[in-house]
Amino acid sequence: MISASLCIRCKGRLWCRLSHCPILEKFETKKKAVSSIQEKEFTGSSPPSLFVSRNNYPFVSIAPLAPPLVSEQNSFLDNPEQWFGLSSNQIIQLRSQLIQSKTNMKADQASNPSNDLLSLQELALSVQPVEAQFQLQEKPKLNLSFNETTAPLGPIALLEKMSLQENPRIPQKVDYLVSDTAVKSQIAIQELFDHGLPVHYLSKILSAGTLGIKNNRSLVPTRWSITAIDDSVSKYLINKSVKYFQQIGEIELFASNYLGNSFFIVLIPNNWSFEMLECWLPGSPWTLEDPTYQQSKEYTIIADFELYGGRKKYADNITGAYYAARLAIAEHLVKRKRQATALVFREIGESYSSPLGVWVIRETVRNALQKKPLRFSDLDLALQYLKLRLQVPFQNYKQKSHLLDALKNQKKITAWIV
């Protein structure tokens, strides 16, 4: 039997060395029919959207995503920044319309793209739906897959040929930076973010291998590109702005709940530092394989943190959710022109029946920070209130937290090194 503790940390990365994750397989849905596709071809307008797999990297599959429908409204199908408030079923219904028409390539082909790859890249660079004709090698397989980083993925088929039926609408700033093959991808990402382009768009064009120095350009698996953008943009905001702002005046507590995810964000007057603590409650996806966990009161809590100097390695406990939450908090502090230490508590209940992607974390934290906070003059008072709101005994979190210990013992957080 697989332990829930391992599953909570692994989240489908196959640390158990099985060929397929038995938990994710439980969420496979094959009853959603794509009744409008009777043949091996269709015409539709891509949101625009593109998915790059990580299996067998550096040999990857790259798939434009499109429904068998031409509509300017299709942009909503791949814009998670507009989904907050939708139910799980609504999100799954949206995503199940998108057909993955995949083709196989080597990742470094982006440094010298073929005509086929250039067409896929042009589609990804568009900021509005692009009408295209898709010829498939087979009828789409009726299936829906889930993981903790990306939004659900729908029916899949091998692509024979794709032809764009209209010119993609690419912003001038994007076209300039994509054409400049001497600009590093990190600089391009920062400039495009400052230009007002959303992070879901940035992750897509990074994944398509359109940014960076020419010989270094590569197709980036979508799961990696989402986290890379959250990480890169949040570090940019923190190092460029947040660390130079005045500290907030008092302790602030924000909260939001969405799709069974309860978030509590505590901002504390101090130099920048960040910690996220996460607990998957009995009945949630990564605990289902272990019936003993359903009855136990010894909840598994995982945590990652950083101090003023930032992280030196990947947050491999919380994984992509860490960077999604950190981005939302960095955006909030930049908007206010303030600096703080941030603690994020996340409890995931059984109503979060299948993983829907880290956009859930990013958008729920954003939502929490848009609300009016509770304010406290003393950290103990804030934590006493938090104890009443959390389902898991606070002592469990306290034992896992690095920053709480530092704050309670009045150590200089800036002196700590991760």
Q: How do residues 375-394 score in pLDDT, each as one tens digit?
A: 999 999 999 999 999 999 99
Average pLDDT over every residue of 232-259: 98
Assign 18 a pLDDT band (cuts: 50, 70, 90): low
SS3 content of the chain, % helix, strand, coil (to 5): 40, 20, 40
Q: What is the mean pLDDT of the chain?
A: 89
Q: Residue 341 is encoded by which pair of tokens?
A: 């230490």
- Quote the DSSP letter at residue 266: E
354 vs 13 pLDDT, higher one: 354
Average pLDDT over every residue of 112-133: 97
Q: Residue 12 is encoded by which pair of tokens?
A: 């489908």
Ranking 13-27, 91-105, 181-195, 398-412 by mean pLDDT, the lowest is 13-27
Q: In what order do the strands lie in the sheet with 99-106?
A: 41-46, 130-136, 156-164, 99-106, 59-66, 50-52
The whole-number pLDDT of residue 22 equals 53
Assign 27 a pLDDT band (cuts: 50, 70, 90): very low
403 vs 407 pLDDT, higher one: 403
pTM over 0.85: yes
2 vs 317 pLDDT, higher one: 317
The whole-number pLDDT of residue 142 equals 78
**Quick check: 30 pLDDT over 50?**
no
The whole-number pLDDT of residue 37 equals 60
Sort strands 273-280 and 341-348 into parallel, antiparallel or unpaired: parallel
Assign 340 a pLDDT band (cuts: 50, 70, 90): very high
The whole-number pLDDT of residue 28 equals 46
Tell me: the pLDDT tens digits for 73-83?
A: 899 999 999 99
The whole-number pLDDT of residue 417 equals 40
Average pLDDT over every residue of 242-253: 98
The whole-number pLDDT of residue 292 equals 61
**Quick check: 164 pLDDT over 70?**
yes
Average pLDDT over every residue of 223-234: 98
Phi then psi for residue 293, to 5 deg, are -70, -30
Average pLDDT over every residue of 302-328: 96
- Quote the DSSP letter at residue 287: G
Ranking 126-135, 143-152, 276-285, 409-418 by mean pLDDT, the lowest is 409-418
**Quick check: 325 pLDDT over 90?**
yes
Assign 368 a pLDDT band (cuts: 50, 70, 90): very high
DSSP 89-134: HHHHHHHTT-EEEEEEEEGGGGGS--HHHHHHHHHHH-SS-EEEEE
The whole-number pLDDT of residue 341 equals 97
* Amino acid at position 213, single letter: I
**Quick check: 132 pLDDT over 80?**
yes
**Quick check: 216 pLDDT over 50?**
yes
Assign 14 a pLDDT band (cuts: 50, 70, 90): low
**Quick check: 170 pLDDT over 60?**
yes
Q: For the chain, how big is the Rg over CA atoms in Å?
A: 22
Question: Percent of the chain, pLDDT > 70?
Answer: 85
Assign 32 a pLDDT band (cuts: 50, 70, 90): very low
Segments in 114-221 forming alpha helices (H):
115-125, 172-179, 185-194, 199-207
**Quick check: 412 pLDDT over 60?**
no
